[in-house]
Amino acid sequence: MMALREDNAKISLLIGGEPTLYPDLSEIVSFGSQINLKMVIINNGRRFKNRRFIE
């Protein structure tokens, strides 16, 4: 992700498979936000129905 920032990227797009199944997704999104990347997740939406996942 640091390479993206060094190349002046503004967005990090998380796709492929099902990103919400990755156990460290929240840490990745948090880190990307901390280094001023707009974090975008493309998924099938199923896990976002689960309130515990969202929290």
Q: Which residue has the tokens 């689960």?
A: 50
- The one-character DSSP state at 18 is -
Which H/E stretch holds residue 7? Answer: none
> Considering the chain, what percentage of its residues have pLDDT values greater than 90?
53
Contacts of 51 (CB under 8 A, 6+ apart): none
How confident is the prediction for the chain on average, in pLDDT?
89
Asked whether the whole model's pTM tops 0.85, one would answer no
pLDDT on residue 36: 94
In the chain, the number of structural domains is 1
Between residues 9 and 17, the one the model is more confident about: 9
In 1-55, the DSSP E strands lie at: 11-14, 38-41
Separation in Å, CA 13 to CA 48, 50, 51, 52: 17, 22, 23, 23
Task: Show the domain range for 46.
Answer: 2-54
